[in-house]
Structure 1
């Protein structure tokens, strides 16, 4: 029971923090969480470091408690809420790798990479 309380406390701490990083986009398919998604869905991959260090992460990436949680990301006054379904090996700690549909809510794809995207984990998965 103490272990569960500790994990819940760590997850709550992670939820309360606003992060900032770059945003990019990629083609989605089968992700690290074990979900198959497509480019029309509002989904995201977080950096491998953030994914692997998330409280409660196990050696099996499909069981990571970040999977299915949502993130609200904001860039230049525009926001999008996305579901975490994957990890991004080329991302820095707080970068996000969006589906094209999600990226389009923040900027034109022709930009390619956006800087200073602020984001926060929301309370639960969907």
Structure 2
């Protein structure tokens, strides 16, 4: 089998995409915070009472298709969030500019199921479900 430059470039692009995407699907441990939702990066309006989340801009931007954030392949994905013995499920609908790669920004309703809002920031884990 003879390889040409195009075949090599396609293989290299595939390998790089796989390496960049791999961390998104493991368990993340980081800060869990909350924010006041509105129009999310996925192009839909969200309310404080919705069980939703925003992932870090670093993670979000890896999956934006064709430069349009509304077409991000993570939009609408279910996420399991855990803090201590409590777990909830949320939908990914937004991008968090101030978050570190493993942080997750939750709606007040979702955060409130894990800890009192007065805590503001807690260390927890999350993964795509």
* TM band (smaller chain): 0.7 to 0.9
Show the counterpart of 2:39.
30
Show the counterpart of 1:20.
29
Whether contact under 8 Å (1:67, 1:86) holds in the other structure is yes
Show the counterpart of 2:125.
118
**TM-score of the superposition, structure 1-length normalised?**
0.82
Structure 1 residue runs of 4+, over 6 Å off? Answer: none
1:105 lines up with 2:101 in the alignment: no
**Structure richer in strand, relative to its length:** 1
Q: RMSD between aligned alpha carbons?
A: 2.3
Provide structure 1 residue ranges, at least 5 long, that are not aligned to the other structure: none
Provide structure 2 residue ranges, at least 5 long, that are not aligned to the other structure: 1-9
Whether contact under 8 Å (2:80, 2:90) holds in the other structure is yes
- Secondary structure of the equivalent of 1:105? helix
Size of the aligned set, in residue pairs, is 116
1:78 lines up with 2:86 in the alignment: yes
**Structure richer in helix, relative to its length:** 2
The CA deviation string for residues 19-74 of structure 1, in whole angstroms up to 9 with x for no partner, is 111010011010100011100000000000010023x6431000000000011010
Larger radius of gyration: 2
